């Protein structure tokens, strides 16, 4: 809060609520338990006493908050469940979600150690996981001994702080195992923003990193850093996530970046994307462990490059040590996306910032509590009204016609409000149930286009000139010949023919069979021709090219220049929408052994860019290409409005574009390996 005011809210949720519900603040699956008092004790001169007083204040306050839980955990309580049954339950503290400083504060451990295991400071960054886990009973015994004797020796052996923890009398609790991974602060804001970015800037310079992020090809749901990333003053989880999505192409195949550094970045990205998956198998967790081991085996390159003084410096970075506990925690508590600190971060807005702004700033906490109680009363009353009268339908606002999409870094647009939409409900690839390859998962999106074209009756000449569909006539003639009912029949297409065109198509994907609890993936393919004040925007896609091939090689990457329907005189040959796609070269047999990405190049024939016209049913999924920046002419200045898709001679297929792409491409790789 502003004005020097501080509030530390404590939230509570129960474990049998689905994480897909718990993550939605509007569902109110997480409630506020209370606000902890804050006092810096500046009037106390001695630092050690001041520190102890702050610790005692925290734990005695938490002890008061959870006092009802103690009795409930011992004797149980009767609870009406969602199925209408009355059950005798024993609620216990199972997980505690906090960032690194708070993890140590609530665990009563010193920050040079670890709240989960007995790792000492020296060797904490080595990557070894041989330190025994903290034993809850030993910890309690040490505190009991300190209370009886006043001697800190029993605490010093376990690196504990000298005050009684709030959880010491809670039954059925093993508090060290309650500490959960923190993807937001440990991985996104920690490993990548604080360290990987800093290391890369020392290798390439801040200016180079900024220019490469500015020149990265745009894609839907991928933030375009128009001013680079070094000028970002307030880093949020969103910025760090978007940076990680695009990071590998920034450093890949650069002669100034050693291969081991690129492998190190790839290992950390693999760990991150697996850690934030909605579902993980034992083999997935093992792969996470192997990725972390790869990082620790490769980090010596940082010493060789004089970026890190020596390997002992990693002892000062507890975030890397905490990554070693992810595997055990996932097996005990489930995937980290179910208890990430992002949810409490958002709840701070709902339960602290908004109520604070509604107060008069005097005795704000009391006013905040009253504000929240009143809102809860309104919600309860609304729930009864909805049950009695039925829920009121939401108003739906629709606009029609051309809706140009702006590339705003901070805006999160609702695509569904642009136009009326109709669903094509098309399965992209049909696999026979008896096909032995049917165990391989392929995207089967539902395609949606607007009922009315964005720009009706656009001439072929305009498509070639303004949309960049330079080979439209020949490519369309080839397609029409392939669908003509009679052999030898050659339908004629003229530049003067008029085509209805669409500037957007939506591909809606169901959750993958190995990630069914993940959210739906919604790809938006945008086709925006340039105008007087904006450059054009043409997204890239993967489309079915060889249905008989397996995995990634079934597809080919292209840049969609136009979505259109045939003129009325030709619609008897094909009545649906077509896509004009500029081609990139087919994928090579295997990915790079360094960065693990597949490379493609613009496909030319006799100096002309190859293109193809296909039914939109062949579009499989959106993709993002990262340029090999060293293949761009060094005389070309990189900036935010440059079209690197037209300038670079080589590109990388980015598997980290989104979680859906990563899991699907990883699945294809695993299936190919057998």
pLDDT digits (tens, 9 = 90+) for 176-194: 999 999 999 999 999 999 9
pLDDT for 428 beyond 50: no
d(CA 405, CA 528): 8
User: Would you say 350 and 344 are in contact if contact means Cβ atoms under 8 Å apart?
Assistant: no
DSSP string for 477-493: HHHHHHH-SSTT-----
d(CA 601, CA 591): 14
Q: What is the mean predicted confidence (pLDDT) over 419-429?
A: 45
pLDDT for 1 beyond 80: no
The predicted structure's pLDDT at residue 555: 98
Band (pLDDT 50/70/90 cuts) for residue 638 is very high
User: Would you say 626 and 252 are in contact if contact means Cβ atoms under 8 Å apart?
Assistant: yes
The predicted structure's pLDDT at residue 405: 38
User: Would you say 49 and 75 are in contact if contact means Cβ atoms under 8 Å apart?
Assistant: no
For the CA atoms of the chain, what is the radius of gyration? 29
d(CA 384, CA 421): 34
Q: Could you tell me where the DSSP H helices lie in 359-471? A: 364-389, 460-466
The pairing of strands 537-538 and 521-528 is antiparallel
| Of 252-261, 331-340, 356-365, 381-390, highest mean pLDDT | 252-261
Q: What is the mean predicted confidence (pLDDT) over 344-357?
A: 86
d(CA 195, CA 75): 48
- DSSP type of residue 193: I
pLDDT for 351 beyond 60: yes
The predicted structure's pLDDT at residue 426: 38
Task: Please provide residue 81's backbone torsions phi and psi, each rounded to the nearest 5 degrees.
Answer: -95, 170
Hey, what's the torsion of the CAs at 222, 227, 228, 233, to 10 degrees? -100
Band (pLDDT 50/70/90 cuts) for residue 533 is low
pLDDT for 211 beyond 60: yes
pLDDT for 386 beyond 90: no
Q: What is the mean predicted confidence (pLDDT) over 576-593?
A: 96
The pLDDT > 70 percentage for the chain reads 92
The predicted structure's pLDDT at residue 81: 87
d(CA 171, CA 61): 19
User: Would you say 540 and 624 are in contact if contact means Cβ atoms under 8 Å apart?
Assistant: yes
- Which are the contacts of 517, defined by CB distance < 8 A and separation ≥ 6? 18, 19, 20, 278, 279, 511
d(CA 67, CA 613): 68
Q: What is the mean predicted confidence (pLDDT) over 154-180?
A: 94
pLDDT for 411 beyond 70: no
The predicted structure's pLDDT at residue 76: 94
Band (pLDDT 50/70/90 cuts) for residue 571 is very high
Q: What is the mean predicted confidence (pLDDT) over 546-573?
A: 96
pLDDT for 388 beyond 90: no
Averaged pLDDT score across all residues of the chain: 89
- DSSP type of residue 133: B
The predicted structure's pLDDT at residue 429: 35
- Which are the contacts of 261, defined by CB distance < 8 A and separation ≥ 6? 199, 203, 251, 298, 301, 302, 305
The predicted structure's pLDDT at residue 469: 96
Instruction: Output the 3-class SS for 72-104.
Output: HHHHCEEEECCCCCEEEECCCCCCECCCHHHHH
User: Would you say 565 and 453 are in contact if contact means Cβ atoms under 8 Å apart?
Assistant: yes
User: Would you say 117 and 325 are in contact if contact means Cβ atoms under 8 Å apart?
Assistant: yes
pLDDT for 497 beyond 60: yes
The predicted structure's pLDDT at residue 5: 67
The pTM is what?
A: 0.90
The closest alpha carbon to 307, from 178, 149, 450, 201, belongs to 201
* Higher-confidence position of 340 and 451: 451
C-alpha distances out from residue 642 to 71, 452, 466, 534, Å: 65, 32, 17, 11
Render pLDDT for 241-251 as a digit per residue (tens, 0 to 9). 999 999 999 99
Hey, what's the torsion of the CAs at 119, 122, 126, 128, to 10 degrees? -30
Band (pLDDT 50/70/90 cuts) for residue 412 is very low
Query: At 449, which helix (H) or strand (E)?
Result: strand 446-450
DSSP string for 480-538: HHHH-SSTT------TT-EEEEESEEEEEEPPPTT-TTSPPEEEEEEEE---SSS--EE
Q: What is the mean predicted confidence (pLDDT) over 602-606?
A: 93
The predicted structure's pLDDT at residue 128: 87
The predicted structure's pLDDT at residue 435: 39
The pLDDT > 90 percentage for the chain reads 73
The predicted structure's pLDDT at residue 214: 96
Render pLDDT for 84-117 as a digit per residue (tens, 0 to 9). 999 999 999 999 999 999 999 999 999 999 999 9
Render pLDDT for 60-90 as a digit per residue (tens, 0 to 9). 999 999 999 999 999 999 999 888 999 999 9
Q: What is the mean predicted confidence (pLDDT) over 576-590?
A: 96
Relative orientation angle of helices 237-251 and 206-214, to the nearest 10 degrees: 100
Band (pLDDT 50/70/90 cuts) for residue 491 is confident
User: Would you say 152 and 134 are in contact if contact means Cβ atoms under 8 Å apart?
Assistant: no
Residues forming beta bridges with residue 179, ordered by sequence position: 96
Hey, what's the torsion of the CAs at 311, 312, 317, 320, to 10 degrees? 50
Render pLDDT for 291-323 as a digit per residue (tens, 0 to 9). 999 999 999 999 999 999 999 999 999 999 999
pLDDT for 138 beyond 80: yes
């Amino acid at each position: 809060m502003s004005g020097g005011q501080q509030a530390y809210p404590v939230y509570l949720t129960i474990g049998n609520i689905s994480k897909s519900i718990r993550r939605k603040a509007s569902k109110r699956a997480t409630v506020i338990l209370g606000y902890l008092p804050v006092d810096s004790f500046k009037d106390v001169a001695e630092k050690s006493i001041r520190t102890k007083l702050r610790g005692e204040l925290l734990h005695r306050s938490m002890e008061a908050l959870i006092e009802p839980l103690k009795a409930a955990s011992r004797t149980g309580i009767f609870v009406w469940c969602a199925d209408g049954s009355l059950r005798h339950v024993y609620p216990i503290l199972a997980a505690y979600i906090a960032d690194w400083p708070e993890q140590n504060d609530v665990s009563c451990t010193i920050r040079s150690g670890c709240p989960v295991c007995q790792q000492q400071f020296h060797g904490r960054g080595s990557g070894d996981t041989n330190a025994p886990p903290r034993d809850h009973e030993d910890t309690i015994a040490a505190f009991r001994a300190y209370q009886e004797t006043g001697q800190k020796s029993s605490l010093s052996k376990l690196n504990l702080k000298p005050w009684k923890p709030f959880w010491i009398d809670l039954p059925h609790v093993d508090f060290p195992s309650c500490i959960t991974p923190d993807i937001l602060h440990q991985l996104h804001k920690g490993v990548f923003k604080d360290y990987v970015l800093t290391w890369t800037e020392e290798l390439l310079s801040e200016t180079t990193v900024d220019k490469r992020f500015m020149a990265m090809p745009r894609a839907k749901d991928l933030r375009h850093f128009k001013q680079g990333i070094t000028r970002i003053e307030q880093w949020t989880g969103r910025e760090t996530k978007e940076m990680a999505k695009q990071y590998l192409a920034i450093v890949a195949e650069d002669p100034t970046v050693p291969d081991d550094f690129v492998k190190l970045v790839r290992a950390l990205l693999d760990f991150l994307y697996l850690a934030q998956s909605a579902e993980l198998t034992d083999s997935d967790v093992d792969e996470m462990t192997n990725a972390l081991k790869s990082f620790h085996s490769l980090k010596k390159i940082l010493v060789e490059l004089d970026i890190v003084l020596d390997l002992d410096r990693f002892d000062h970075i507890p975030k890397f040590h905490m990554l070693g506990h992810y595997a055990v925690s996932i097996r005990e508590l489930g995937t980290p996306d179910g208890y990430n600190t992002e949810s409490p971060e958002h709840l701070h807005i709902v339960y602290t910032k908004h109520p604070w702004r509604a107060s008069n700033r005097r005795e704000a906490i009391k006013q905040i509590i009253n504000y929240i109680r009143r809102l809860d009363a309104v919600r309860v009353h609304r729930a009864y009204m909805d049950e009695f009268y039925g829920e009121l339908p939401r108003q739906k606002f629709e606009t029609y016609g051309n809706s140009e999409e702006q590339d705003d870094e901070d805006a999160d647009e609702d695509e569904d409000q642009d136009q009326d939409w109709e669903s094509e409900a098309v399965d992209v690839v049909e696999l026979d149930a008896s096909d032995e390859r049917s165990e391989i998962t392929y995207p089967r999106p539902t395609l949606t286009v607007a009922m009315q074209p964005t720009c009706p009756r656009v001439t072929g000449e305009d498509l070639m000139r303004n949309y960049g569909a330079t080979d439209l006539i020949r490519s369309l003639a080839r397609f029409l010949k392939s669908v003509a009912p009679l052999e030898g029949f050659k339908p004629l297409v003229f530049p003067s023919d008029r085509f209805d065109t669409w500037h957007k198509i939506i591909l809606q994907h169901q959750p993958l069979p190995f990630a069914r609890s993940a959210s739906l993936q919604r790809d938006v393919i945008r086709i925006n021709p340039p105008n007087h004040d904006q450059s054009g925007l043409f997204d890239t896609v993967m489309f079915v090219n060889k249905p008989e091939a397996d995995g990634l090689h079934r597809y080919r990457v292209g840049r969609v220049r136009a979505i259109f329907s045939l003129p009325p005189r030709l619609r008897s040959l094909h009545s649906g929408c077509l896509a004009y796609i500029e081609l990139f070269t087919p994928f090579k047999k295997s990915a790079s052994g360094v960065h693990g990405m597949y490379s493609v190049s613009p496909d030319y024939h006799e100096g002309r860019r190859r293109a193809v016209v296909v039914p939109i049913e062949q579009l499989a999924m959106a993709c993002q290409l990262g340029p090999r920046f060293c293949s761009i002419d060094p005389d070309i200045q990189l900036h935010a409005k440059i079209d690197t898709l037209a300038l670079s001679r080589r590109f990388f297929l980015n598997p980290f574009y989104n979680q859906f792409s990563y899991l699907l491409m990883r699945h294809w790789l695993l299936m190919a390996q057998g």
